[in-house]
Amino acid sequence: MESARQRAGLRRLPLRAAAFVVFTCVAILAVSGWREWISRQVLLGAAETEMENLARSLTQHAEDSLDLLDSSIIGAVSRMEIDGTGPDAIAKLRNVFTARKDAIERIHSLGVLDQDGNWLTEPGTVISTLSNDEFFRYHVYSNKREAYVGRPVKSLADGEWVITLSRRFNHPNGSFAGVVVGAISSNYLSRFYQQFDIGRHSSILLLHAGGTVIARSQDSATYAGRDLSDRPLFRDPSLQGPGGAYALKSPLDGKDRLNFFSRSSRFPVVLLATVQKDEVLAPWRAAAITRMSVVLGLVLLIALIGTFLVRQLMLSKRMAAALAEKEASFRLLAEGSSDMVTRIGLDERIRYVSPSCRRIVGWGTSKLVGTPALAGVHPDDLPDVRKIVESMKRGELEEARVTYRTRHRDSGEIWLESTLCVTRDERDEIDGVVAISRDVTEQKNLEGKLEALAVEDGLTGLANRRCFDQRLSEEWARAYRDRTSLGLLLIDLDRFKEYNDTYGHPAGDDCLRALAKILAREAKRPGDLAARYGGEEFAIILPNTDAAGCALIAERIRQALRVAKIAHASNVPSALVTASIGGAACRPGMERSVGPVSLIEAADRALYAAKDGGRDSLVMSGEVHNLLSAASGQ
């Protein structure tokens, strides 16, 4: 029966392992797919926010343009009602209109019509039979004095589509005397919208509230004047608010687009910004294909490794069963293995060790049998190893894998990876543990080197730019949380290009290393960090340091560099290698409107000030918030 139970367990084990591998692969694919979907939604959300902001900004531009045109018209109305419509008054007004058109590009035309619709000024011109036009009829029959924005019309003077804005003026007795009308060119609006690079197949449209296209960023001459009043933007009740977004196939070019609209609260115009959905998703799609290809490759690799491990597990189980039945078979298999196989009793002493022990730990079998199995484990790793062994002795674990440090007889400290398996006697009671160990020192050393390369500059030994960026964000968050100061110094070697040209790049590398040693000596507190920022530019992060402390450390760096007396003939007047230093300090907890990038910008501006001031000097920027406020005020 015991043998039957073992065989049944061996039959079930591959199925369980295979199910685990399948579950792992499916889970990885599901998580990756979910992550890509989230990335897609985040990208669409960011595009929506960006385009909504653009729509609101361009709506404001349209309002500003109409306001500018209206200010000219208001002035003309005042002149007409005060000076009348005599030849002298009209001549003066014609000169004013000409000056305004020449000075302001967006004004296409300005003109005055009398009460019969006849031009009193040069007809700029907007349309032909003005007495029959919409804006003229509106002012004839309406006593309202506010501005009236008409539908887009085509100018007969130059064939351009324009949008008109007009106001009536009255006789002294309050009766209708005529209309002052101005126009903004569709071409001007189209050229202005073309400045915004929102995509090859994307567009910006300005429409009249009635649904007529005023201007389009692309092919404006083709689309201007089209009536889109039957489209959802003007028909759908859910889209009649001040602004929003919706997805729709464009009626103009038939492409699936994301549409973002903003209605003016002051004028009857609507700004519509549209982006092609495929264009927005193109970067994500390319990246997603790459990432999913990597994930699929990883899943395939896991499947292959899982298959291999299932086979190895079957082999290990069979080996464990053979060891439980016959010690001779165990010894035969163990002594033929390149790994060190150790059998440990419940007293934690070694009962058997394979001959591979001499190659792996430097000791022979006679020296190890009977000794404590955990005697050579490094003190820092011993608690974890002992915890696993105790769990296996209590029957809480059947198998375990652990990596730890131990002593080699000749080589000193090495890393071992051991796979532990519980052994049982004929009564199915635990009688010990079998450990299969291999030397993974080379692998661990390689991992350590890779970790060091990820954060260390290869030339100077200082932290690299990646480590600097990460540490600055951490220190900023810490200073914000603790309400402490944070200082930053940017150090740039003066005329370093001329130094390389004169003394050669090997000497330039030596010069950079010399400066790095000085910076490393000054960054002596646990929280300080000296880093190579790029090229000949270095940086020091100084937590809990105000501007005075930064200046003190910067002066020590400059003096130490002078004491080094590195010759630099091109660096006059000292003829020595010198450095310009820009410093900045702030209290993040008191300046919530800025961030780590602002601290770098402040120090960078201070560095350029030191350069412009003659080099070999220190310039402190002052408080970051004040500096940014002064810069924005300029």
pLDDT at 450: 55
Same-domain pairing of 248 and 142: yes
Instruction: Please give the torsion angle defined by the CA atoms of residues 17, 19, 25 and 26, in that order, rounded to the nearest 10 degrees.
Output: -160
Instruction: Provide φ and ψ at 5, rounded to 5°.
Output: -65, -40
How far is it, in rounded angstroms, from Cα 145 to Cα 139?
Answer: 8
How far is it, in rounded angstroms, from Cα 256 to Cα 246?
Answer: 11
How far is it, in rounded angstroms, from Cα 216 to Cα 205?
Answer: 4
How far is it, in rounded angstroms, from Cα 544 to Cα 526?
Answer: 12
Same-domain pairing of 231 and 283: yes
pLDDT, tens only, 553-607: 999 999 999 988 989 988 888 889 999 999 999 988 776 657 899 999 999 999 9
Query: Which among 324-328, 446-450, 624-628 has the top mean pLDDT?
Result: 446-450
Does position 43 have pLDDT exceeding 90, yes or no? no
How buried is residue 322: exposed, middle or buried, by Cβ count under 10 Å (0-12/13-18/19+)?
middle
How far is it, in rounded angstroms, from Cα 153 to Cα 225?
Answer: 7
Q: What's the CATH code of the domain at 501?
A: 3.30.70.270
Residue 23 covered by a domain: no
Under DSSP, is residue 92 helix (H, G, I), strand (E, B) or coil? Answer: helix
Same-domain pairing of 71 and 202: yes
Same-domain pairing of 415 and 466: no
Same-domain pairing of 296 and 332: no
Please tell me the total count of domains within the chain: 3
Same-domain pairing of 126 and 248: yes
The token duo for 272 is 């519509």
Does position 631 have pLDDT exceeding 70, yes or no? no
Does position 130 have pLDDT exceeding 50, yes or no? no
Average pLDDT estimate for 134-158 = 86
- 361-370 long-range contacts, CB within 8 A, separation 24+: 361/406, 361/407, 361/408, 361/409, 361/414, 361/416, 362/408, 362/409, 362/410, 362/411, 363/409
Same-domain pairing of 277 and 130: yes
pLDDT at 126: 44
Q: Characterise 254 by phi-psi region: left (phi > 0), alpha (psi -120 to 50), beta (else).
A: left
Residue 437's H or E segment, with its range, is strand 430-439
Average pLDDT estimate for 83-101 = 85
Q: What DSSP line would sit under 200-259, residue for residue?
A: TT-EEEEEETTSBEEEESSSHHHHTT-B-TTSHHHH-GGG-SSEEEEEEE-TTT--EEEE
- Within 274-350, residue ranges assigned H as helices are 277-325, 327-335
Confidence of residue 452 (pLDDT cuts 50, 70, 90): low
The token duo for 203 is 């567009």
Residue 370 covered by a domain: yes
Q: Are 274 and 257 in contact (CB under 8 A)?
A: yes
Q: Which of 357, 355, 365, 372 is nearest to 416 (CA)?
A: 357
pLDDT at 131: 40
pLDDT at 319: 65
Residue 20 covered by a domain: no
Average pLDDT estimate for 8-12 = 57
Confidence of residue 282 (pLDDT cuts 50, 70, 90): confident
Confidence of residue 492 (pLDDT cuts 50, 70, 90): very high
Q: Which of 245-259, 300-314, 326-340 has the lowest mean pLDDT?
A: 326-340
Same-domain pairing of 339 and 358: yes
Instruction: Provide φ and ψ at 144, rounded to 5°.
Output: -65, 145
Q: Which of 254-263, 366-375, 543-552, 621-630 has the lowest mean pLDDT?
A: 621-630
User: Where do we find the tokens 């069979």?
Assistant: 318
Does position 151 have pLDDT exceeding 80, yes or no? yes
How far is it, in rounded angstroms, from Cα 35 to Cα 287?
Answer: 12
Average pLDDT estimate for 534-555 = 92
pLDDT at 633: 46
Residue 28 covered by a domain: no
Q: Which of 561, 542, 536 is nearest to 603 (CA)?
A: 542
pLDDT higher at 124 or 222: 222
Same-domain pairing of 362 and 338: yes
Omega within 30 of 0 (cis) for the link into 283: no
Which residues pair with residue 434 across a beta bridge?
343, 421
Q: Which of 446, 467, 489 is the last residue of a domain?
A: 446
**Whole-model pTM?**
0.45
Instruction: Provide φ and ψ at 102, rounded to 5°.
Output: -70, -35
Residue 19 covered by a domain: no
How far is it, in rounded angstroms, from Cα 531 to Cα 26?
Answer: 43
**Pairing relationship of beta strands 486-493 and 203-208 according to DSSP bridges:** unpaired
Average pLDDT estimate for 445-460 = 69
Same-domain pairing of 298 and 334: no
pLDDT higher at 444 or 174: 174
User: Where do we find the tokens 């020091």?
Assistant: 540
Q: What's the CATH code of the domain at 253?
A: 3.30.450.20
Residue 76 covered by a domain: yes
Average pLDDT estimate for 606-610 = 92
User: Where do we find the tokens 């000193």?
Assistant: 412
Residue 307 covered by a domain: no
Same-domain pairing of 265 and 121: yes
Residue 6 covered by a domain: no
Instruction: Please give the torsion angle defined by the CA atoms of residues 40, 44, 50 and 54, in that order, rounded to the nearest 10 degrees.
Output: 150
Owning domain of residue 552: 456-633
Confidence of residue 632 (pLDDT cuts 50, 70, 90): very low
How far is it, in rounded angstroms, from Cα 233 to Cα 146?
Answer: 27
Confidence of residue 312 (pLDDT cuts 50, 70, 90): confident
Under DSSP, is residue 318 helix (H, G, I), strand (E, B) or coil? Answer: helix
Average pLDDT estimate for 25-46 = 86
Q: Which of 557, 539, 560, 561 is nearest to 487 (CA)?
A: 539
How far is it, in rounded angstroms, from Cα 186 to Cα 632?
Answer: 34
Within its chain, how far is the Cα of 258 from the centroid? 23
Q: Which of 408, 425, 446 is the last residue of a domain?
A: 446
Confidence of residue 415 (pLDDT cuts 50, 70, 90): confident
pLDDT at 628: 43
pLDDT, tens only, 44-91: 788 788 888 888 999 999 999 999 888 988 988 888 888 888 888 888
How far is it, in rounded angstroms, from Cα 611 to Cα 618?
Answer: 9
pLDDT at 519: 92
pLDDT higher at 11 or 483: 483
Q: Which of 105-114, 146-155, 193-202, 563-572 has the lowest mean pLDDT?
A: 193-202
Give the chain's end-to-end CA distance (angstroms, integer).
91
Confidence of residue 271 (pLDDT cuts 50, 70, 90): very high
Half-sphere exposure of 448 (CA within 13 A, CB side): 7
Does position 321 have pLDDT exceeding 80, yes or no? no
Same-domain pairing of 550 and 503: yes
pLDDT at 1: 45
* Portion of the chain with pLDDT greater than 90, in percent: 20
Q: Which of 446, 470, 487 is the last residue of a domain?
A: 446
